[in-house]
Amino acid sequence: MQEDHWSTFQQLAKRHGLDCLGVTDTQLQACAPYLQAWLNQGMHGEMAYMERHGLDRLDANMLLPGTVRIVSVRIPYIPPSLLNEQEPKDFFAQTLDKVQSATEPYISLYARGRDYHKVIRQTLQRFAGDVHAALGEFGYRVVCDSAPTPEVEIARKAGLGWRGKHTLLINPKEGSFFFLGEIFTNLELPMNQAFETNHCGECTACMDVCPTQAIVADGVVDARRCISYLTIEHDCAIPLEFRKAMGTRIYGCDDCQLACPWNKFAKPAVHSDFEARHGFDHANLLELLDWSEAEFLKRTEGMAMRRIGYKRFTRNLAIAAGNYAGAENMEKSRLKAKLMELRSHADDFLAEHLDWALGELSSMDSGG
Ligand code: SF4
Ligand code: SF4
Residue 307, domain member (yes or no): no
Mean pLDDT of 315-319: 98
Reported as a single tens digit per residue, the pLDDT across 133-173 is 998 888 999 988 765 578 899 999 999 999 999 999 999 99
Mean pLDDT lowest for which of 60-64, 101-105, 281-285?
60-64
Reported as a single tens digit per residue, the pLDDT across 128-144 is 999 999 988 889 999 88
The whole-number pLDDT of residue 11 equals: 93
Residue 289, domain member (yes or no): no
The whole-number pLDDT of residue 99 equals: 96
Mean pLDDT of 64-90: 89
What residues pair up with 71 in beta bridges, in sequence order? 23, 183
315 vs 272, more confident: 315
- Take atom 5 of ligand 2 and give the residue whose Cα is closest: 164
- Take atom 8 of ligand 1 and give the residue whose Cα is closest: 210
The whole-number pLDDT of residue 368 equals: 54
The whole-number pLDDT of residue 311 equals: 96
- Take atom 1 of ligand 1 and give the residue whose Cα is closest: 253
Which residues have C-beta within 8 Å of that of residue 216, sequence separation ≥ 6?
Answer: 43, 222, 225
Ligand nearest to the CA of 99: 1
Task: Specify the ligand 1 atom closest to the Cα of 225.
Answer: 3
Residue 120, domain member (yes or no): yes
| Binding pocket residue ranges, ligand 2, CB within 6 Å | 164-166, 170, 200, 203-206, 259-262
Residue 253: pLDDT over 80: yes
Q: Is the dihedral of CA 258, 261, 267, 271 positive or negative?
A: negative
Q: Is residue 170 a contact partner of residue 199, using CB atoms and an 8 Å limit? A: yes
- Take atom 2 of ligand 1 and give the residue whose Cα is closest: 253
Secondary structure E strands in 44-84: 69-76
Residue 293, domain member (yes or no): no
Q: Is residue 91 a contact partner of residue 83, using CB atoms and an 8 Å limit? A: yes
Distance 265 CA to ligand 2 centre (A): 13
Average pLDDT, the chain: 90
Residue 106: helix, strand or coil by DSSP? strand
Distance 122 CA to ligand 1 centre (A): 29
Q: Is residue 211 a contact partner of residue 245, using CB atoms and an 8 Å limit? A: yes
Ligand nearest to the CA of 219: 2
Instruction: Give yes or no for residue 212 CB within 6 A of ligand 1.
Output: yes
What distances in angstroms separate CA 16 from CA 10, 11, 132, 280, one per listed residue?
10, 9, 14, 27
The whole-number pLDDT of residue 2 equals: 66
Residue 351, domain member (yes or no): no
Mean pLDDT lowest for which of 74-88, 193-207, 310-324, 327-341?
327-341
Q: Is residue 107 a contact partner of residue 247, using CB atoms and an 8 Å limit? A: no
Q: What is the distance between the alpha carbons of residues 159 and 194, in angstroms, rounded to a whole number?
A: 4
Mean pLDDT of 26-43: 76
What distances in angstroms separate CA 226 from CA 13, 211, 262, 319, 345, one per listed residue?
35, 9, 21, 15, 30
Residue 212, domain member (yes or no): yes
Residue 308: pLDDT over 90: yes
Residue 275: pLDDT over 60: yes
Residue 74 backbone phi and psi in degrees, to 5:
-105, 130
Residue 198: pLDDT over 80: yes
346 vs 145, more confident: 346
Tell me the residue range of the domain where 34 lies. Answer: 3-283
The residues annotated with a catalytic role in the active site are 145
The whole-number pLDDT of residue 239 equals: 97
Residue 198, domain member (yes or no): yes
**Closest Cα to residue 76, out of 215, 6, 163, 181?**
181
Binning pLDDT at 50, 70 and 90, where does residue 57 land?
Answer: low
Q: How many domains does the chain fold into?
A: 1
Select from 47, 107, 163, 166 the residue to mutate for testing ligand 1; criterion: most ligand atoms less than 8 Å from CB: 166
- Take atom 6 of ligand 1 and give the residue whose Cα is closest: 256
Residue 364, domain member (yes or no): no
Task: Specify the ligand 1 atom closest to the Cα of 221.
Answer: 5
Instruction: Give yes or no for residue 230 CB within 6 A of ligand 1.
Output: no
Mean pLDDT of 299-309: 95
